[in-house]
């Protein structure tokens, strides 16, 4: 019995020894391992949901800060500004009808001769929850005119407002509105009547005035979020658009947006990035051979023109100032063949500021596209002193955000080949974003770039070739050109004839040699995106219109 009792006692001892261990292990598992597993699973689910809700947009190959309105290309500033800052007027008003669910500020707006009036909507809030008022509009339009660092480009957008040529610090009247101090009355042609009404006095009638000041380079901003220089943001941009900025990685050039109102059924998270590879749910500007080429990507070529492309000349140089040289360059080009080399067919041959499609054809001169004429090009070149061009290789700077390697674009070697046929050797240089115009004493003769079309103002790009514009050496001092420009500005609202004369003169003089126009090209990942929704022309991509799969 003792023996049996001893055996039973040993089993009990083992039971009492093992049970606490099992219980302890269970408690440890319950309190430590399982919560971590659950947490890991929750994090994985959250990550999966974030990826599902996140829309990544590859803006282009070359990186720009999207709110740097001076440097960033038009499609970047227009897309970012529409999403974050909203718009004074509907961005789709240039289309047949406005069916876009967008954030706009003006309730009513109209122009009678040279007086334009606008009434603001009540209750429109910046992302910092303050209501937008008419003084915000005045400040936003004029801040770069009264800032210590002047901005010629912005001035060109406002050049039809009375007083733009006479903005002075001593004219500023500082006004307090809801404990916020605004600099007012610097530009005499802008008259704030009250918090919700504003009047613009124009030099000349312009039926597209409100479209012009709705430019993405003139975002409406809250003054309290801007530094004292009126330019830099204290942190991130603040607007009244559908998206707010939540972060930025300036090293990797990634910019993060989130929808402002949870109730809106639009993509929740947005990452804007730049990469020359095939990265992103959406890719804009598909010119290079490495982007938009996957089998699951749907490609869209918008019918409206995004920009033109061609040579600007340095009129400081003897060659740039030589009309025979410029004409020879133009006649050496087979524009159809150059445009035909584009990978996605996004390029169309052209030699005028305006193309023969869309709204632009109304202002294009009734002159056929210039044809290549090698014999005449060589004759004109023979009239140019040989020591200026013969046996030389011209370095050609570029400002072209489509590709990191400019020579990977198939139309570039085609341009080189055609110029070589008349004896002009060229070397195209990759884009340096700091080189955005010819500098003083610059020896470069040619520069490959283009001008974008964010709206339907036909005189906007011609303004770059006037004295006093941002570009100093890219145009001649030509009184005839200025005369034609002024006639076009004065009369285009009533008739397109004077604008056609301006376009014809610009082309005949080869003030800029235009080779082709570019239509915006976009690809999207069909595995994630149902459609791009209602888009106007892709230059200003309406992010909120994009439909994601459930």
CATH of the domain at 514: 3.10.105.10
Query: Exposed/middle/buried for 132, CB within 10 Å: 0-12, 13-18, 19+?
Result: buried
Q: Is the pLDDT of residue 397 over 90?
A: yes
Q: Is the pLDDT of residue 1 over 70?
A: no
CB 126 within 8 A of CB 86: no
The reply to whether 89 and 226 lie within a common domain is: no
The reply to whether 387 and 504 lie within a common domain is: yes
CATH of the domain at 133: 3.90.76.10
Indicate whether 344 belongs to any domain.
yes
- Name the pTM for this structure: 0.84
Mean pLDDT computed over 74-90? 94
Highest mean pLDDT among 20-34, 36-50, 484-498: 484-498
Domain boundary among 235, 262, 295: 235
Q: Which two tokens stand for residue 96?
A: 């047949």
In this prediction, residue 366 has a pLDDT band, given cuts at 50, 70 and 90, of very high
The reply to whether 370 and 246 lie within a common domain is: no
Q: Is the pLDDT of residue 69 over 50?
A: yes
Q: Is the pLDDT of residue 34 over 70?
A: no
pLDDT for the residue 17: 54
The reply to whether 108 and 161 lie within a common domain is: yes
The reply to whether 347 and 428 lie within a common domain is: yes
In this prediction, residue 95 has a pLDDT band, given cuts at 50, 70 and 90, of very low
The reply to whether 161 and 257 lie within a common domain is: no
Q: What does DSSP assign to residue 132?
A: P
Please state the separation of Cα 452 from the chain's center in Å: 9
Do β-strands 282-284 and 512-525 pair in parallel, antiparallel, or remain unpaired? antiparallel
pLDDT for the residue 97: 47
In this prediction, residue 2 has a pLDDT band, given cuts at 50, 70 and 90, of very low
Indicate whether 295 belongs to any domain.
no
Q: Is the pLDDT of residue 16 over 80?
A: no
Q: CA 109, CA 197: separation in Å to the nearest integer? A: 10
Mean pLDDT computed over 465-476? 92
The reply to whether 136 and 193 lie within a common domain is: yes
pLDDT for the residue 4: 37
In this prediction, residue 90 has a pLDDT band, given cuts at 50, 70 and 90, of confident
- Going from the C-alpha of 217 to that of each of 132, 157, 480, the distances in angstroms are 18, 9, 30
Q: CA 507, CA 501: separation in Å to the nearest integer? A: 10
Indicate whether 290 belongs to any domain.
no
Determine which of 148-157, 232-241, 485-494 has the lowest per-residue pLDDT on average. 148-157
The reply to whether 350 and 491 lie within a common domain is: yes
Please state the separation of Cα 29 from the chain's center in Å: 55
The reply to whether 226 and 328 lie within a common domain is: no
Q: Is the pLDDT of residue 50 over 90?
A: no
Q: Is the pLDDT of residue 509 over 90?
A: yes
Domain boundary among 235, 254, 272: 235
Indicate whether 1 belongs to any domain.
no
Domain boundary among 213, 235, 257: 235
| Residue entry with tokens 């916020």 | 180
Indicate whether 33 belongs to any domain.
no
Q: Is the pLDDT of residue 214 over 60?
A: yes
Name the nearest CA neighbour of 145 among 153, 136, 135, 134: 153
pLDDT for the residue 67: 96
Mean pLDDT computed over 304-318? 94
Mean pLDDT computed over 475-487? 96
Count the domains in the chain: 3
Span 265-287, pLDDT tens digits: 999 999 999 988 889 999 998 88
Indicate whether 23 belongs to any domain.
no
pLDDT for the residue 414: 98
Q: CA 83, CA 264: separation in Å to the nearest integer? A: 13
pLDDT for the residue 100: 59
What is the pLDDT of the chain when averaged over all its residues? 89
CB 363 within 8 A of CB 503: yes
* Structural domain span for residue 404: 305-520
Mean pLDDT computed over 191-211? 94
Mean pLDDT computed over 366-389? 97
pLDDT for the residue 18: 61
The reply to whether 370 and 507 lie within a common domain is: yes
Indicate whether 11 belongs to any domain.
no
The reply to whether 427 and 489 lie within a common domain is: yes
The reply to whether 210 and 195 lie within a common domain is: yes
Indicate whether 4 belongs to any domain.
no
| Residue entry with tokens 């195209």 | 428
């Amino acid at each position: 019995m003792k023996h049996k009792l001893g055996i039973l006692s040993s089993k009990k001892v083992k039971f009492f020894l093992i049970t606490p261990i099992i219980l302890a292990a269970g408690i440890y598992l319950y309190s430590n391992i399982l919560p971590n597993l659950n947490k890991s699973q929750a994090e994985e689910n959250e990550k999966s949901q974030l990826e599902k809700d996140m829309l990544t947009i590859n803006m282009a190959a070359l990186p720009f800060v999207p709110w740097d309105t001076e440097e960033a290309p038009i499609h970047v500033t227009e897309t970012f500004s529409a999403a974050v800052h909203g718009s004074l007027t509907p961005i789709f008003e240039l289309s047949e009808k406005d069916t876009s669910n967008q954030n706009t500020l003006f309730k009513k707006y109209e122009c009678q001769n040279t007086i334009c009036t606008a009434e603001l909507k009540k209750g429109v809030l910046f992302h910092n929850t303050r209501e937008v008022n008419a003084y915000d509009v005045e400040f936003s339009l004029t801040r770069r005119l009264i800032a210590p660092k002047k901005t010629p480009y912005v001035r060109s957008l406002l050049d039809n407002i009375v007083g733009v040529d006479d903005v002075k610090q001593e004219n500023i009247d500082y006004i307090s509105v809801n404990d916020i101090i605004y600099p007012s009355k610097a530009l005499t042609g802008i008259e704030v009547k009250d918090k919700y009404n504003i009047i613009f006095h124009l030099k000349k009638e312009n039926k597209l005035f409100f479209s012009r000041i709705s430019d993405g380079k003139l975002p409406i901003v809250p003054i309290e979020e801007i530094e004292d220089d009126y330019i830099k943001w204290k942190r991130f941009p603040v607007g009244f658009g559908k998206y707010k900025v939540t972060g930025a990685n300036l090293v990797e050039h990634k910019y993060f947006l989130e929808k402002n109102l949870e109730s809106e059924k639009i993509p929740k998270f947005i990452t804007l990035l730049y990469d020359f590879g095939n990265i992103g749910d959406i890719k804009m500007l598909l010119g290079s051979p490495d982007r938009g080429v996957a089998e699951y990507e749907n490609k869209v070529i918008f019918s409206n023109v995004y920009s033109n492309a061609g040579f600007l000349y340095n009129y400081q140089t003897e060659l740039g100032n030589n009309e025979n040289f410029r004409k020879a360059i133009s006649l050496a080009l087979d524009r159809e063949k150059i445009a035909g080399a584009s990978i996605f067919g996004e390029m169309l041959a052209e030699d005028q500021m305006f193309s023969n499609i869309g709204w632009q054809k109304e202002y294009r001169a009734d002159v056929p596209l210039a044809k290549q004429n090698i014999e005449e090009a060589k004759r004109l070149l023979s009239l140019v002193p040989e020591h200026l061009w013969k046996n030389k290789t011209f370095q050609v700077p570029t400002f072209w955000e489509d590709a990191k390697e400019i020579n990977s674009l198939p139309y570039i070697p085609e341009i080189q080949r055609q110029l070589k046929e008349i004896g002009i050797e060229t070397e195209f240089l990759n884009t340096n974003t700091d080189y955005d115009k010819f500098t003083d004493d610059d020896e470069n003769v040619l520069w490959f770039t283009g001008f974008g079309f964010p709206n339907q103002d036909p005189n906007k790009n011609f303004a770059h070739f006037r004295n006093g514009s941002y570009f100093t050496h890219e145009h001649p001092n030509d009184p005839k050109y200025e005369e034609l420009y002024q006639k076009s500005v004065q009369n285009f609202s009533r008739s397109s004839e004077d604008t056609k004369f301006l376009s014809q003169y610009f082309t005949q003089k080869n003030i800029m040699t235009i080779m082709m126009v570019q239509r915006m090209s976009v690809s999207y990942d069909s595995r994630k995106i149902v459609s791009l929704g209602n888009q106007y022309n892709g230059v200003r991509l309406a992010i909120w219109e994009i439909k994601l799969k459930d």
